[in-house]
A and B are shown apart, each in its own frame.
Chain A
Amino acid sequence: EAGVTQFPSHSVIEKGQTVTLRCDPISGHDNLYWYRRVMGKEIKFLLHFVKESKQDESGMPNNRFLAERTGGTYSTLKVQPAELEDSGVYFCASSRDRAGELFFGEGSRLTVL
């Protein structure tokens, strides 16, 4: 069974540009989460999907971040326009049940210059 996959593994962009990160959860996992770790800080929750519906987006930093999960399969996280403080590692995780075991992807490292 394939795990959670994320693309790209690393993205380097300039301030003001747009980046879109993609996450493919484990097949059959309705729950999909986005997390972020910025330099030197703990991993922080961004948002939670159940199928295509956003259940909780309280962790999204501001309106430059847009997450979608059309069709309830893969999800995208778009940052537009990117700022320097957006640099970090963006993790995606999925679980079968709402409070079940979380399985993480390898992360997408974003560097904004």
Chain B
Amino acid sequence: KQEVTQIPAALSVPEGENLVLNCSFTDSAIYNLQWFRQDPGKGLTSLLLIQSSQREQTSGRLNASLDKSSGRSTLYIAASQPGDSATYLCAVRPNNNDMRFGAGTRLTVKP
């Protein structure tokens, strides 16, 4: 059974710092991995989707990597801003139906 773990559970950094969020999964047989952000009381906003054949994806200040063999993904945020404060969720798709979520990392960027 696929388990997804996100470390740390919470992170607080000063504005301008570069930071890394970690995601690990137990079964390397995945279709893809997707990173989301969720603001309080809101839905999930898709950030990056990495297919199983890809190693990384970039969008603006965000860069996500995928190492299937070791069951790890990282989300790198460059030059963090207060507007980046949110919960970041990692989700892996073990088949073409289901998607398994981690518990999330709650990020606070202080001005």
Interface residues of A (CB under 8 A from B): 4, 33, 35, 42-45, 48, 55-56, 58-59, 91, 93, 98-107
Please state if A48 and B98 are interface contacts (CB–CB under 8 Å): yes
Q: A42-B4, A99-B31 are in contact. List 18 more A-B contacts (CB 8 A).
A: A33-B99, A35-B101, A43-B91, A45-B97, A45-B99, A48-B97, A91-B44, A93-B44, A98-B96, A99-B32, A100-B49, A101-B46, A102-B34, A102-B91, A102-B99, A104-B43, A104-B44, A105-B43
Which residue of the partner chain B has the closest CB to A44? Answer: B101
- Label chain B's interface by main secondary structure: strand
Please state if A101 and B36 are interface contacts (CB–CB under 8 Å): no
CA distance A91 to B46 in the complex (A): 14
B72 within 8 A of partner (CB): no
CA distance A51 to B32 in the complex (A): 22
B103 within 8 A of partner (CB): yes
Specify which of A42, A56, A100 lies most central, judged by the most chain B CB atoms within 10 Å of its CB.
A42
CA distance A56 to B31 in the complex (A): 16
Please state if B98 and A45 are interface contacts (CB–CB under 8 Å): yes
Which residue of the partner chain A has the closest CB to B103? Answer: A42
Chain A residues, Cβ within 8 Å of B101: 35, 42-44
Within 8 A of A (CB), among B84-111: 89, 91, 93, 96-104
